[in-house]
Structure 1
Amino acid sequence: MTSTPPRTRALAARRTWQPPTEVERRLRDAALAGDEKGYLRVLAETDLYLYLAKDEVDAGGARSWRTTEDELGNWCVAVRTTGERPPRHAGSVASCRTLADLAEHWPDARFSLYVNPGSPSGMRLRARPWDRRRWKKAARAADTDRPPTLLTKLTGPRSGPLAHALACGAHLSVTNGVLWNEIGDVYRDYERDVHLLRDNWGTGTPQEWQIQMNALLAARNSPPEPELALRVRRELSHDAATLGADAWRRACAAVLDELEIPEAGAAVQDVIGRVLRYEARFRADGLLAPDGYVRSAVGYDYGRAVGFARWGLSARLCPAEAAEGAILRAGGACREAYDSWEDFSAGYALGRVLRFDTEEFGEWYTAVLEPHRLLTTDPESPWRTVGWEEE
């Protein structure tokens, strides 16, 4: 019996391997074809991850590049693509870079660049000065102003309650250019996620993370006036789209009197006007059906809770079990509040613009409109493949 040569077996294994994302599939195909130019083109269009010493990153200042020996005993700097990031290690953290960054700041021409070591998508690249000029050329040729993209981990959850819950955070995943269906070592980049939580959320400890997470899951992070007004409208009429504005305003004023908080009247009346104007724009832009209306704005807190859980995990403020549990709770809360992905998305969008947009319909609006359009139309979107009531 003639045995199959090792190289032939290796090539066959590469072809039958299940890439974790489309990026690794393209890299594998380029590597199989010996197409270094095509390989560089893929690298130029994706995030690359260096792993650095956590204590050095936390301390700030200069960081040393970690080098390793490849299978042939040559020194190299290893980077990973998104789908090939390794499991968490206590002493190292992921630092997101681009091919242009690597070319500009390469530590030593004697080191080669080793992409995805040990993976069928991997390749070793020389890093001499003229090689790095090719990296820069590939980076300049890359489409750096790409529209929002849906990134799916093919080996991640794509059905069931966890996939449904993660898809409730898909607005942010599309906007930030990260995988929607992963609870992994980082969301985008350890250091950036630490700064995001500290600067935007005032969160730098596990205790602070838990307090903010509890507020999001209880829909207490956003102002209360929009939800009060929307709840009154829901209870007042089964056909809220045709309910007159005056009747809605009077009903809210009566509720505030009953609650003995008439001083909130001006804020609630202002919210009613803003909601009506935003709903009109939503209908014009396809965020709502022609006769649609927003049932609730709590989806904004619940949707952000998914991202907040992943940021906390990335920043090492919570364990994976706590992050996953919070994400599942957010998904369950969304199912209770809404009837469909489109219903949820409109609620998320309204909560966002009422919080941050001043009816300018600028970035705060477009950054939710574009993901909505992608997620409701792309046939590979979880909003098309994961049922709303997925259990």
Structure 2
Amino acid sequence: MYRKHPWLTRISSLTRPSLLPNLLVHGEWMLAALDGHGLDPHTLFDIHVLLYSHVQGMAVHLEREADAEAATGQSEGQWMDSRAPVLKELVDSGRFPTSAKVVGSFEDGYDLRLDALFESGLRALLDGLPPSSKARLGRMGTWIAPSVIERELYGAKTAGDWAAYFDVLARTPLYVAQPRAQSDAHPGSVFFHSTPDRMLVVHTAGMLPAPTPETVFESRSLRWFAEVWAADDPAFLAVNPGSPAEAYLTTTPADLARWRTHAEASPHYGLPEGKVHALFTGGPLHGPVAHGLAVGCHLAVTNGEFWNSLAYHGSGYQYERRRVAKSWSITERSDWLSTLHTLLDCGMVSPVWEFALRVRRALASDFAGPVDVEHWRHVAEASLRRNAQRAAEPQLTPDGVTVAQPRPAAEVEGEIAGVRRLIGRIARYEQRFRADGLLPADGWVRSVEGWDIGRASQMARWGVGCRYGSVAEAEQAVLRAGEAARDTYRSWEEFSAGYVLGRCLHFDEEEFGTWYTTALAAHLALTTDPASPWRNIPWNLG
């Protein structure tokens, strides 16, 4: 980070830290890595500050060197070579015998390698922590919990708090591997495939492997396992085996009763809806792919999903298939590809909506300011009448002159009346958007293509979950979604307003019901949560 932005050392004071979202995200990442190891809050934060000061202390020299090179025109090595006579004079003076001994032992000079110094300094710092802190941190090694789920499981396990461990399991979907052919043949069933040592392996969402064509995963709750487990089923439930958050749970009747008790006490199941959830590892957090995934964040937040999970399993193979079949009539790969490409081409939003917004966009550009609603209606009506007249004019074609029939007057008048009503409807939605913080006081929606673009980003992932498409295909699709969004809008906020208006024009009928309120909640979460990708991924990728 400091290599890319050396100037950060000037604004990130240790004693008077700048409360900027991106800097807080870095701090959150550091604290999350240290959390869950049994450290008391003061010790945890002390270690965080020590690590931060070491990083910043080394990084400050990056900017100084860049400034010095710009001022002198000399690289670090060239400057040192020019100072060699001065150094030799000081060493040979006899006043600094230890320095002379050390410097004189360098056969080829001393190569100042900041990266190597940083690593050795960090190692020395960590090795110098109190034994109790080192022991706790060492249990986790270099492993970073993929998500908050695994971090909570690890924290509970490390603390020996098995009640807390079961509380986490009770509110977390548990994924069971199934041969895809078997799942396709029995879509309503989940089969237990025991390991040779009589264990049924389940994974939490952050620990799922990348999707493959042959193997799929179905998700079930701890309560479900407690209800269906039979005497001849495996002797152990293996949760995330091989990871620091693993547990091997016995399955006696008393154990199953314990599972049910925790499930009944659980306040919710799955990740909370309306909040931003991310994979710490296993999903992109920066760059073009992350940008394209963030374009689909409205639906990820509304549905309570990890926004950056490209290797997507969703809520399980059969659930994802049922979802796209019910909502999109997608039942095979060709359906998915057709729908995905139509969304990426913004071919599902109404062309009438885009016509109305395009007229206003032109007026706003011409007059460099807000557009009166009646003026907007008048210009849209004139444009429609002009188009109708042109359509009735004879056309010169390679086959000769084609005489066109004029459109019925009632049809043209009905179209004009409909567009006038639409403009009023858009204006009323925008008034509400401004009141609710979805638009600034003088803001307006440029386009509703964002609704198609946002859904395209999600459709790419849904295809992976259904095995209608591969991760590589999904990646290309989300990259296209990101490009399309940047071509049409100028910020995350503009994109979001376009997405919400498209959703409302299609579903809401000016009721301002759940179609609107859930979209508004997602917008507010994405624009205010310090960990939101919209607060950390620049709109225009440099």
1:15 Cα deviation (Å)? 4.6
Q: Read off the aligned partner of 2:168 and give its amino acid letter.
A: V
TM-score with structure 2 setting the length: 0.67
1:206 Cα deviation (Å)? 2.0
Q: Read off the aligned partner of 2:216 and give its amino acid letter.
A: V
1:187 aligns with 2:338: no
TM-score with structure 1 setting the length: 0.91
1:31 Cα deviation (Å)? 1.8
Q: Secondary structure at the match of 1:68?
A: coil
Tell which structure's C-alpha radius of gyration is larger: 2
1:84 to 186, 204, 207: 207
1:27-63: CA deviation from partner (whole Å, max 9, x where unpaired): 1122222221111111122222112232232223544
Alignment of 1:55-94 (within 5 A): 55-59=181-185, 60-69=187-196, 73=197, 75-94=198-217
Alignment of 1:1-391 (within 5 A): 12-59=138-185, 60-69=187-196, 73=197, 75-108=198-231, 111-144=235-268, 146-155=272-281, 156-238=283-365, 242-260=370-388, 262=412, 264-391=415-542
Aligned-partner Cα distance in 1 for 2:454–2:257: 42
Aligned-partner Cα distance in 2 for 1:118–1:11: 18
Q: Secondary structure at the match of 2:140?
A: helix
User: Could you tell me whether the CA contact under 8 Å between 2:194 and 2:234 is conserved in 1?
Assistant: no
User: Could you tell me whether the CA contact under 8 Å between 1:112 and 1:124 is conserved in 2?
Assistant: yes
Aligned-partner Cα distance in 2 for 1:195–1:171: 21
Equivalences, count: 380
1:181 Cα deviation (Å)? 0.6
1:246-293: CA deviation from partner (whole Å, max 9, x where unpaired): 111111112222332835323322221111111111111111112211
Structure 1 residue runs of 5 or longer lacking an equivalent are 1-7
CA spacing shift, 1:195–1:165, aligned 2, 3 Å: same
1:121-159: CA deviation from partner (whole Å, max 9, x where unpaired): 111112222212222222222221845221111112111
1:9 Cα deviation (Å)? 9.6
Aligned-partner Cα distance in 1 for 2:230–2:433: 50
Structure 2 residue runs of 5 or longer lacking an equivalent are 1-133, 389-406
Aligned-partner Cα distance in 2 for 1:121–1:28: 4
Aligned-partner Cα distance in 1 for 2:417–2:183: 48
User: Could you tell me whether the CA contact under 8 Å between 1:305 and 1:327 is conserved in 2?
Assistant: yes
Q: What RMSD in Å do the two structures reach over aligned CA positions?
A: 2.1
Of all paired residues, the percent bearing the same amino acid is: 41
Aligned-partner Cα distance in 2 for 1:295–1:107: 58
| Displacement over 6 Å in runs of 4+ | 8-11
Aligned-partner Cα distance in 1 for 2:493–2:381: 30
CA spacing shift, 1:386–1:283, aligned 2, 3 Å: same
Q: Secondary structure at the match of 1:345?
A: helix
Q: Secondary structure at the match of 2:177?
A: strand
Aligned-partner Cα distance in 2 for 1:285–1:48: 38
User: Could you tell me whether the CA contact under 8 Å between 2:507 and 2:515 is conserved in 1?
Assistant: yes
